[in-house]
Amino acid sequence: MKKSLLSLILIFMFAFSTKAQSIKAQDVSDSAEKRIALITRVMTAELGLNESEYIRLKALNRERIVKGDEIAEYYSNNPDIKAAKLQELENNFDKKFRNMLNPSQLAAYSAYKHDPETNLALKEKHNTANNQPKK
């Protein structure tokens, strides 16, 4: 009896956690999902990442972009705090990402980071929002 009750509880916990994960995945907007895919593809090609590295990078980019969008929205009236929080987020991403790279990928990433054309992750959404046609 206790085993079946425990099994039932575990099944419900698993079902609810799976539901919560699917809801969390749906919370990402189409725009954010497109940016995540684009940035991950570009970085993968530039740095020569394999499939497992691509998957880990995509998860890091998802975290970075979703949190970046939240920060930008929450601190929209305070540009100094917003900039500091976005920089902190970027530094955190950079540290996590560097830990998964080999030495040749690290060198390619350093060159990639110094190219202003490649820094799309946090800027793309905010630049497109600011560049709306004037009426």
Tell whether 78 is covered by a domain.
Answer: yes
Structural domains of the chain, count: 1
- Residue 33: the pLDDT is 93
Q: What is the pLDDT of residue 31?
A: 87
Q: Does residue 70 sit within a domain?
A: yes
**Cα-to-chain-centroid distance, residue 127:** 18
User: How far is 15 from 30, CA to CA, in rounded Å?
Assistant: 26
- The answer to whether residue 14 is domain-embedded is no
Give me the pLDDT at residue 53, please: 94
pLDDT in tens, 4-25: 555 556 565 666 554 444 445 4
pLDDT of residue 113: 82
Which domain covers residue 91, as residue numbers?
A: 29-130
Is 6 among the domain residues?
no
Question: Is 57 within 8 Å of 109 (Cβ atoms)?
Answer: no
Distance (Å, whole) CA 82 – CA 90:
12
| pLDDT tens digits, 16-58 | 554 444 445 446 788 889 999 999 999 999 999 999 999 999 9
Instruction: Give yes or no for a contact between 98 and 135, defined as CB atoms under 8 angstroms apart.
Output: no
Residue 62 lies in a domain: yes
Looking at residue 13, its pLDDT comes to 61
Q: Is residue 49, in this structure, part of any structural domain at all? A: yes
Please report which confidence band the pLDDT of residue 110 belongs to, taking 50, 70 and 90 as the band edges: confident
In a domain, 8, yes or no: no
